[in-house]
Amino acid sequence: MPARAWRRGVVLSLVLAAGLSGCGAGTSARGTPPRGSSDRIVEAELEPLYQLTAFEAVQRLRPRWLQTRTRADPMVHVDGNIRSEGASALRNLRADDVQEMQYMSPADATTRFGTGYVNGLILVTTKR
């Protein structure tokens, strides 16, 4: 086997091993749920915050979502329905009722839903 092919095989094996070692699911060493994506909050992260509102959960887990360039809030869609009150709509939802929340940047939200998302969008999926 040529040395170049052997090296390529070793490098690919190491990359594969490193990738698989980071795929563990469950909880961290301290027993807390693993932190997901910076643009998504999943049910496992919300479980310890069941007594909070969805707004308070976002403040605690992803405060960046609420920090906008203007004074206006990001838009909020709950189960596909636009909420006219913006991020304040999250105050009416219990974190325990939320399955997942996802933040979309202004560019992504505008591309998907059209204009009017200058401060981004928080998509909320509730438990049904």
Amino acid 14: pLDDT: 56
What b/e sequence results for 84-111 when a residue is b if at least 16 CB atoms lie within 10 Å of its CB, and e otherwise?
eebbebbeebbbbebebbbbbebeebbe
Residue 47 and residue 33 in contact, taking contact as beta carbons nearer than 8 Å: yes
- pLDDT range class, residue 72, cuts 50, 70, 90: confident
Looking at 29-74, which runs of residues are DSSP E strands?
40-42
Q: Place 82 in a pLDDT band, splitting at 50, 70 and 90.
A: very high
Q: Quick: pLDDT tens for 89-123.
A: 999 999 999 999 999 999 999 999 999 899 999 99
Q: Look up residue 15 and give its amino acid.
A: V
What digits encode the pLDDT tens for the residues 39-49?
A: 999 999 999 99
